[in-house]
Structure 1
Amino acid sequence: MADNIARVFADAIATDPTRPLLTWYDDATGERTELSGATCANWVAKTANLIVDEVGLAPGDPAAVLLPPHWQTAAVLLGCWSAKLTVVDTPGDVEVLFAAASQVEAAQRWSAGERYVLALDPFALPMREVPAGFTDFVSAVRGHGDHFTPYPQGGEADAELLARAEARAAELCLTPGDRILVDATAYPDPVDWLLAPLTAGASVVVCGNLDRARLDARTAAEKVTRTLAG
């Protein structure tokens, strides 16, 4: 059983870093963003470098990620796991917090050393007005390096998360080369829309605010082989 999320991610993109890895749709805005393995790795590396070089965190430090399913959320989560942070979901004391602009109020329940806010803009543009006490994630992360060497061992929660992901991938019958479409509203757990596909060597089409009327056409256009929709 795999016990290192960063290694699983690296293995998932090693064969062909140019192929689509994660495609994001938001049917409420009309957004479509497609990331190859190489592009996703670039964002992940920048995020990990931000965590280590700018925030100065060490393996095991706790992080909060108050973000909905999104391609930028994938970068933040994988960046945290690459830096061996422990992502927690119960409000408390953390070293770093990443929050969607819509979650700024909820973030006040957390005590955090550093706070980053994400607008989740379709073009990854920086925020025009940054909430007090927060740093704009996009502006901060862009200045960091495109390469990061993950720690050789996984983080404290990696084995448990990957065990869940492997079980979920088996339940969904995912195999290398599959392309799974996930309804992000019905299945917001990153085990479903991020880790299970990675462990199986599959790519994923993540759909926010899924319009059911578009499902058949999208399945055909994206060459989807599996569907996880509520």
Structure 2
Amino acid sequence: MSTTRPTTSGAGRPQADLPGELLASVVRRNSAAPLLTAYDDATGDRVELSAATLANWVAKTANLFQAEFDIAPGSTVAVALPVHWQTAAVLLAAWSCGAAVLDTAAEDDDRLAGSDLVLADRDRLPALEDALAQGAGGELLGLSLHPLGLGMTDYVGPARDFALEVRAQGDFFAPWQPPDPAAPGLVTGGLTLDLGGLVPAAGELATRLGIRPDDRVLVDADTAAEAGPVAWLLAPLVAGASTVLVRNPAPEGLPHRAETERVTATLGVRIDGIRMLGAPG
């Protein structure tokens, strides 16, 4: 069992060995400040989560995974979801259980073999239902990705509805088995990262990109999907930054968005007068 405790290193930069510990350290640092603000310019939706709110979603989701699907160290959770605030909760919940995340956001359904649980947005459910019926993976949870976390209206397929299932879960999570840092934590493309390697990898990436403590980082969802969850989710958390996540961005509105959200840096989009992460100079 790991006996390490999260600490803070540098000016407000939380440090922890595992992703679940990382979020807990962020909550202790400032639970009420905005941590993840999500926009979808195609629908006009805006959702803002504080560290405490995101942690509550993570706890409920982890309890759902553990109690209803027996997700624990050694399990594999396939995440067939776009970059979204609910995806952040799903990823952190799986890691809190000690499970490996199989990132299938690139719509490669053939990679589901051996997974214990598959989470997918409603648009992908028909193809996944067929794949799972042929024994390609475990149980299926569907997400509506509704901005208020509502369920999948009028859905009649075999997938269980994440929004309905998660509501009844407890607000505090304690794993039945302690996560194993040496176990797989993320499988994406041809890369596998150990659970205990995720936070260090995110810290190295945050340093390389130049994310600063208390940065407010505007992230383009397409760039985030290509870069993966270590970049769009964990690196800002490690750095002590907050994120403004924009799906389907309307370029003409981004300067005003950046001003109103007090954005200090961007990832995947260039806005005049604002530092672009990873850019030369």
State the TM-score, normalizing by the size of structure 1: 0.93
**Equivalent residue for 1:156?**
184
User: 1:123 Cα deviation (Å)?
Assistant: 1.6
Give the alignment partner of residue 211 of structure 1, picking from 250, 253, 257: 250
Rg comparison, structure with higher value: 2
Aligned pairs for 1:1-150 within 5 A:
2-89=16-103, 90-107=111-128, 108-110=130-132, 111-150=136-175
Once superposed, what is the RMSD of the aligned Cα atoms?
1.7
User: 1:152 Cα deviation (Å)?
Assistant: 6.0
The 1-side partners of 2:21 and 2:180 are apart by 9
Structure 1 range deviating more: 127-136 or 157-166: 157-166
The residue type paired with residue 39 of structure 2 is Y
The residue type paired with residue 219 of structure 1 is A
SS, match of residue 150 in structure 2: coil
SS, match of residue 206 in structure 1: strand
The 1-side partners of 2:127 and 2:19 are apart by 28
**Equivalent residue for 1:172?**
209
SS, match of residue 123 in structure 1: coil
From the superposition, tell whether residues 59 and 152 of structure 1 become closer, same or farther in structure 2 (CA, over 3 Å): closer
**Equivalent residue for 1:226?**
265
The residue type paired with residue 140 of structure 1 is E
User: 1:134 Cα deviation (Å)?
Assistant: 0.2
Of structures 1 and 2, the one scoring higher in RCO (CA 8 A, sep 6+) is 1
8 Å contact 1:92–1:109 — kept in the other structure?
Answer: no
- Unpaired segments of 5 or more residues in structure 1? none
SS, match of residue 22 in structure 2: helix
The 2-side partners of 1:134 and 1:119 are apart by 12
From the superposition, tell whether residues 152 and 191 of structure 1 become closer, same or farther in structure 2 (CA, over 3 Å): closer
Structure 1 range deviating more: 88-97 or 194-203: 88-97
State how many pairs are aligned. Answer: 230
User: 1:166 Cα deviation (Å)?
Assistant: 1.5
Q: Percent identity?
A: 43
- Unpaired segments of 5 or more residues in structure 2? 1-14, 104-110, 186-194, 270-281
8 Å contact 1:181–1:204 — kept in the other structure?
Answer: yes
> 1:26-74, CA deviations, whole angstroms, 9 ceiling, x for partnerless residues?
0000000000011111100000000111112221201100000111111
